[in-house]
C-alpha cells in the first residue's frame, strides 16, 4: 500500500507550486488527537523514536532517566554538530536531524573491523509533527575527509567504508561515527543534532521484548546468513559447527508476526531482491516503523515494568549521542509524533545509480532532497516529488 504524501510542516501549510508550474494543494490539516501521542526513546534501528500513547508513561522524567541510565552515550558527531538549532540554540525548538548507523558486531570481528551498511538520516521538521527516514546507499562513492583523530589521510571510498576508516588506529566506534558524519556532511551538506550506532546482534532482544513485529514480505528471498538445523535457525558459522544437515531459510511473500531473529534476518537480505540494497533499505525502514507501531499498540509503554525492561534492552543494542540534550528531555520534547507519522523516503528512486565502476552516485533529485532536509523544506519537496515516498508493502 502506497502512503499518501505527507503535508508540509505547519509553517508552510499552504498551496505549493510544482516544478511543472501547476498548483498542488496541500493536504487537509490532520485532525487533532483526543489524547497526546508522543515520541518515546528509540528502540528501533537507531531512531530515537519509540512511539506510543498515554500521557502518563512511566509517570515522570525521573523514572525515564532511571530507565535510560543503561544506555551508552558517546560523542558520535564530532564537529558536524549544528552550530545552533532553533531560536536561542535550543535543539528541541527547531528541526532535528539524527544520523543512524547500523553495524553487525558479531564477536568474530574486531571493533575496528566494522562497516556501517545501514546509514539512515532521521529528519524531524521544526513543527515536530512528522518524522522522515532517508537512507544513504552503502555503495555510494564519496570523498572521505582526512581524520586527525587517528591519522587517516582521506580518500575516495564507499559510504559504508567511512565508518571503517574512522574506527582504525584506536578511533573505535566513536571515531567511526564521527568520520561517517563528516563524510555525509562533506558530500551531501547535511549536518546533525545527534546520532546512534545500532548493533544488529543486540537488537534481537528488543524485538523479543515487544513480542515480535508484523512484517510484510514483498519478494520471496533466501537467507544468505542463516539456515535451519533441526528446526532451529542458526547463523551459517554456528550451523557448520554442529555437523548436522541444514535446510535453507526462505522468507515467503505475505504478512505475518515475525520473531526477533526472523525480522532481523529478513531486513538484512539484499541478494536475490529485485533492487538489491535499495530493497534492503526499504525493508529496514519498514522494520523501524513496525517496531514503533508495535510499541504503541501492545500496551508495553503504558506498563512501567515492561517499558523499563524494553528501554534497558534497547540500551544493550546501541550507542547514543543526543548532542548534549538529556535523553528524558528528548522524549518529552517530541510530543506531536505518532507511529503513523513516520514517512519512509527513497533515495535515487529506489534503484541503483551506477557510475560505471561498481559504485553509485546520488542523482540530482536526491541531492535536492538532501538540501530540503538541510533547509527544513522536506514537506514541500515531497509535494513536488511524491514518487520519493517508499511503498511500504
Rg of the chain over all Cα atoms, to the nearest angstrom: 20
Separation of alpha carbons 126 and 194, rounded Å: 15
Spatial separation of the C-alpha atoms in residues 359 and 286, rounded to whole Å: 25
Per-residue confidence (pLDDT) for residue 214, from 0 to 100: 93
SS3 298: coil
Give the pLDDT of residue 256: 95
Rounded Cα distance between 5 and 10, Å, is 15
Which residue shows C-alpha cell 587517516?
152
Report the C-alpha gap between 152 and 48 in whole angstroms: 30
Cα–Cα distance between 352 and 331 in angstroms, integer? Answer: 36
Give dist(CA 323, CA 178) in Å, integer.
13
Find out whether 275 and 330 touch, Cβ atoms under 8 Å.
no
pLDDT number for residue 79: 80
In DSSP notation, 57-126 reads TTSSHHHHHHHGGGSEE---SGGGB-S--SGGG-TTSS-EEEEEEEE---TTS-TTS----EEEEEEE-T
Residue that the C-alpha cell 548436522 belongs to: 244
Helix or strand run (H / E) with residue 141? strand 141-144
CA atoms of 276 and 32, how far apart (whole Å): 40
In the chain, what are the domain boundaries? Answer: 10-209+310-388
pLDDT at 341: 66
pLDDT at 181: 95
For position 192, what pLDDT does the model report?
A: 92
CB atoms within 10 A of CB 224: 15
CATH of domain 10-209+310-388: 3.30.420.590
> How many Cβ atoms sit within 10 Å of the Cβ of residue 279?
18
d(CA 259, CA 275): 25
300 in Cβ contact with 210 (< 8 Å)? yes
Q: Give mean pLDDT in consecutive 10-residue pieces for the chain, a chain of 393 residues.
A: 40 40 40 29 34 36 54 81 55 82 64 75 86 88 95 94 92 92 95 84 78 93 95 92 96 95 90 85 82 72 66 71 70 58 82 77 93 94 91 64
Number of alpha carbons in the 13 Å side-chain half-sphere of residue 179 = 33
- The predicted pLDDT at position 68 comes to 55
Task: From 12, 15, 287, 289, select the one nearest 132 (Cα to Cα).
Answer: 289
The Cα 125–Cα 373 span in angstroms is: 8
CA–CA separation, 74 vs 217, rounded Å? 36
pLDDT single digits (tens) 104-149: 765 445 566 677 778 889 898 988 878 898 988 888 999 999 999 9
Partners of 131 in the β-ladder: 342
State how far the Cα of 207 lies from the Cα of 5, in Å rounded to an integer.
29
Amino acid at each position: 500500500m502506497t502512503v499518501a504524501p505527507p503535508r508540509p510542516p505547519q509553517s508552510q501549510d499552504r498551496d505549493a507550486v510544482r516544478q511543472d508550474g501547476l498548483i498542488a494543494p496541500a493536504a487537509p490539516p490532520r485532525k487533532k488527537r483526543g489524547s497526546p501521542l508522543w515520541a518515546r526513546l528509540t528502540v528501533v534501528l537507531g531512531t530515537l523514536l519509540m512511539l506510543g500513547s498515554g500521557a502518563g508513561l512511566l509517570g515522570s522524567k525521573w523514572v525515564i532517566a532511571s530507565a535510560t541510565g543503561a544506555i551508552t552515550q558517546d560523542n558520535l558527531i564530532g564537529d558536524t554538530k549544528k552550530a545552533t538549532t532553533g531560536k536561542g540554540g535550543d535543539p528541541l525548538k527547531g528541526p532535528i536531524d539524527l544520523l543512524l548507523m547500523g553495524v553487525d558486531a558479531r564477536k568474530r570481528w574486531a571493533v575496528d573491523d566494522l562497516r556501517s551498511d545501514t546509514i539512515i538520516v532521521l529528519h524531524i521538521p521544526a513543527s515536530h509533527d512528522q518524522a522522515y527516514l532517508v537512507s544513504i546507499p552503502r555503495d555510494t562513492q564519496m570523498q572521505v575527509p582526512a581524520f586527525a583523530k587517528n591519522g587517516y589521510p582521506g580518500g575516495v571510498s564507499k559510504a559504508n567504508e567511512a565508518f571503517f576508516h574512522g574506527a582504525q588506529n584506536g578511533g573505535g566506534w566513536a571515531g567511526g561515527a564521527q568520520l561517517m558524519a563528516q563524510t555525509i556532511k562533506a558530500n551531501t551538506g547535511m549536518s546533525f543534532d545527534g546520532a546512534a550506532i545500532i548493533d544488529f546482534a543486540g537488537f534481537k532482544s528488543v524485538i523479543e521484548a515487544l513480542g515480535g513485529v508484523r512484517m510484510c514480505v514483498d519478494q520471496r528471498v533466501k537467507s544468505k546468513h542463516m539456515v535451519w538445523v533441526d528446526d532451529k535457525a542458526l547463523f551459517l558459522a554456528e550451523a557448520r559447527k554442529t555437523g548436522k544437515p541444514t535446510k535453507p531459510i526462505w522468507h515467503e511473500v505475505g504478512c505475518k508476526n515475525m520473531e526477533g531473529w526472523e525480522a532481523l534476518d529478513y531486513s538484512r537480505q539484499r541478494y536475490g531482491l529485485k533492487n538489491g540494497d535499495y530493497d534492503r533499505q526499504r525493508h529496514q525502514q519498514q522494520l523501524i516503523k513496525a517496531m514503533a507501531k508495535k510499541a504503541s499498540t501492545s500496551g508495553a509503554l503504558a506498563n512501567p515494568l515492561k517499558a523499563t525492561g524494553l528501554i534497558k534492552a534497547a540500551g544493550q543494542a546501541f550507542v547514543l549521542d543526543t548532542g548534549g540534550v538529556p535523553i528524558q528531555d528528548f522524549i518529552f520534547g517530541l510530543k506531536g509524533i505518532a507511529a503513523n507519522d513516520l514517512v519512509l523516503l527513497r533515495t535515487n528512486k529506489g534503484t541503483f545509480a551506477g557510475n560505471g565502476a561498481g559504485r553509485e552516485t546520488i542523482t540530482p533529485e536526491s541531492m535536492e532532497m538532501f538540501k530540503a532536509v538541510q533547509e527544513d523544506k522536506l514537506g514541500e519537496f515531497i509535494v513536488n516529488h511524491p514518487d520519493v515516498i517508499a511503498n511500504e508493502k
